[in-house]
Structure 1
Amino acid sequence: MTSYENMNSKLLSQFKKAVVLNAILQAFGRQMDEIKVALSDLSSKRGLSGSVGKQLDGLGEIVQITRKPRGFFQELSNDEDYRILVGAKAIKNTWLGDLPGAIELWDSVFPDRKLALMDNYDMTMTALLTGTEPVGIQKDLILSGFIIPKPTAVNMNYKFSEGKAFGFGVDNDTIGGFDSGYWARDLI
């Protein structure tokens, strides 16, 4: 429904045939529709998922991450990998520090992979990744601690399983029993 049609449907019946009023509403409605299209276009091209090149670099500046993050050995020239890093940094900046929040934020960056975080109660955590195995730069970013949020001074162990990981007495998205569980291995 166009803006004009929306405004015209709300008019009282006595004003629906007013020529001057309809001309004003059509002109105003056309401008409103153009503004809606421009805002939608701006949102899709300037947001994280649609930005490329310098636009993506600008988003990186906002969250304070460059294409060559400190502590990482190579520059991210690929926009797709840099987009993941920028999204992960934004998530880390807004993370409240709880395990369910970390998993929810992970799902927003990698919807095709599942994450389970386990607190080992000895200043270490285990991150269990299931689904497609990360490769290349994405794997390096995960192992370097740029993707998965964790509390300060806590060491992280990374495990991977092609499907649900094997576990006793648990059956959820990431862990399954004898029927559906796979042995998890170290992600190295």
Structure 2
Amino acid sequence: MAIEPYLNLVTSQHYNKVKFMSWLSAVLQKVDDVLEVTNAIPEAFDVNKAVGVQLDTVGELVGRSRYLPFQLTDGSSPVLDDTNYRIALKAKIAQNQWDGTLPQIYDVWNSLFPNAQLIIKDNQDMTMDAKIRGDLGLQSVTLVTVGYIIPKPSGVRLNVKWESEITRRDYLGMIVTERDTVQLTFPNPEL
């Protein structure tokens, strides 16, 4: 809203009155400022554009915290940065809207990690195998491993296997169980 069109509606009798026009401009400017802030709110809390506190607010609405409930294997902070937190939020939103089909899992994966490949196999025994090719970075790997990224039916065990160009000891042997806890098996020291 621009205030000039409203100021132009003032009759000629009052248009030349400096005090009246100043008062009217001040009142209209307050309304205009409120309208600008109101119009900026949806963009400020857009999951693709939000940062910091706004992203935390989106996380509260979605139901996913920035703070991981465990320590990363490399000793870095369990607090997700904005980039990885945005991935976790988008995955949670997708999980909340998941229709239970494998094609939609692939759609979610491709939107989050376009440079990594996912292959899922339903073992028909309440387990699923997920094979991932490509390097995602430790925080993204951890998000996948603890069940934050790949949607799965309740009670189904997800076994995650990694095929990466980089040998990574920090996520070998991780699997996600039906309680979304991480089980670690120590990697073979000869790797």
Question: Above 0.5 in TM-score?
Answer: yes
Deviation, 1:55, is: 0.9
Counterpart of 1:49 in structure 2: which amino acid?
A: N
Q: Give the match for residue 170 of structure 1.
A: none
1:158 matched residue in structure 2: 160
| CA shift in 2, pair 1:80/1:98, >3 Å | same
2: CA distance, partners of 1:147 / 1:120: 20
Cα deviation digits, residues 94-135 of structure 1 (max 9, x gap) = 1111111111111121122221211011211111212x3122
Residues paired across the two proteins, number = 128
* Alignment partners' CA distance in 2, 1:61 and 1:44: 17
Q: Secondary structure at the match of 1:81?
A: helix
| 1:100 corresponding residue in structure 2 | 103
**How far, CA to CA, are the matches of 2:124 and 2:55 in structure 1?**
38
**Aligned 8 A contact 2:131 2:161 in 1:** yes
User: In the alignment, what sits opposite 1:68?
Assistant: 67
Q: Provide closer, same or farther for how the CA distance between residues 50 and 85 of structure 1 changes in structure 2, counting only shifts above 3 A.
A: same
Give distance in 1, aligned partners of 2:164 and 2:85.
Answer: 25
Q: Report how far residue 140 of structure 1 moved.
A: 1.1
Task: Please report the RMSD computed on the Cα atoms of aligned residues, expressed in angstroms.
Answer: 2.7
- Is residue 54 from structure 1 mapped to residue 57 from structure 2 by the alignment? no
Aligned to 1:89: 92
- Contiguous gaps of at least 5 residues in structure 1: 1-34, 164-185
**Can you list the C-alpha shifts for 1:136-186, whole angstroms capped at 9, x where unaligned?**
1111111111111111111111122348xxxxxxxxxxxxxxxxxxxxxx6
State the identity as a percent. Answer: 34
SS of the aligned residue for 2:136 comes to coil
Counterparts of 1:114 and 1:59 in 2: how far apart (Å)? 28
Give TM-score scaled by structure 1 length.
0.59
User: Does 1:116 pair with 2:119?
Assistant: yes
The separation in 1 between residues aligned to 2:107 and 2:173, in whole angstroms, is: 21
- When Rg is computed on C-alpha atoms for both structures, the one with the higher figure is 2
Report the Cα offset of residue 43 of structure 1: 5.8
**Which structure 2 residue ranges, 5 or more long, are not aligned?**
1-34, 72-76, 166-171, 175-191
CA distance in 1, matches of 2:159, 2:80: 28
Contact kept, 8 Å, 2:80 with 2:139, in 1: the verdict is no
Structure 1 residue aligned with 2:185: none
- Partner of 2:121, secondary structure, is strand
SS at match of 1:126: strand
